[in-house]
Amino acid sequence: MATKLRHSGGYRATASFQTSTIIYDGTYWFCERFLDPRSRMTDQMVQAARSGRQNNAEGSRAAATSSQTELRLLNVARASLEELLLDCEDFLRQRRLPQWAPDSPEARAVRNVPQNYKKDRADQSDLTDLTDRERWALYAPWLESDDPAVRANALICLIHQANFLLDQQIAAAEARFVEEGGYTEQLATARLAERQRKRKRNDQTDQSDQSDQSDVTPQCPRCGSAMVLRTVKTGQNAGKQFWGCSAYPGCRGVVNL
């Protein structure tokens, strides 16, 4: 079975995609509850949340054939979440609602959900092993709150986490591109390696054939020189092969096949 030159996909198991999924769902239900569904802000927030998730997935799939496309889409996902972050901050500021400080107990409680979950598990499993609904349930106390400020602040915390994860993902993709090159370069390298492998195999076959030939070639019974395979050209034995001395015509030694 042929193996792929570059692996892609697997995004569903990444923390960045899973966090983006929570953000998308949380944003959708936040807008549904606290904003006019026909307003432009609702449309922009939902689309930004969706872009943060979908471009992450698309970038992962594009990794199979284009590092540039992978990086571009991951950066689009990162930029979309940054836009959503500003919308959440604007929502709080324009309504004179409090925004949690990064080191506040409320912000730390949301931020520490993954660590607390892992700490409470004997098998040390983390949130990536859960289903989407199970992960959502861990954040439900904030994301399903009747207080719009709590929901918006929780989304802000999650967006900061997703952005941190995406920054790491982008840095890793950039380093991989610098070290390994793009898909076209890898394809050319693989093609050259295959050519060299075939050439080496053919050389070994030729050497083996020559070795086999030397093993079965007899020596002249008269002078000891190497024999040469010859073909009778005339007479009743025309077309038949025989071993003739390579020193012919000086030596007329013959060995029949």
**pLDDT (tens digit, 9 = 90+) per residue, 3-13?**
444 455 588 99
- On the 0-12 / 13-18 / 19+ scale of CB atoms within 10 A, 59 is buried
Confidence check: pLDDT of 208 > 80 = no
The answer to whether the pTM exceeds 0.85 is no
- On the 0-12 / 13-18 / 19+ scale of CB atoms within 10 A, 184 is exposed
Give the per-residue pLDDT at 3: 47
How far is the CA of 164 from the CAs of 78, 129, 159, 220, in angstroms?
Answer: 9, 20, 8, 82
pLDDT, one tens digit per residue, over 74-94 is 999 999 999 999 999 999 999
CA distance 37 to 31: 7
pLDDT, one tens digit per residue, over 96-128 is 999 999 999 999 999 999 999 888 787 767 888
Confidence of residue 190 (pLDDT cuts 50, 70, 90): low
Phi, psi of 242 (to 5 degrees): -155, 165
Q: Which residue is listed with tokens 């053919």?
A: 202
Confidence of residue 50 (pLDDT cuts 50, 70, 90): very high
Confidence of residue 242 (pLDDT cuts 50, 70, 90): confident
Tokens standing for 145? 């709150």
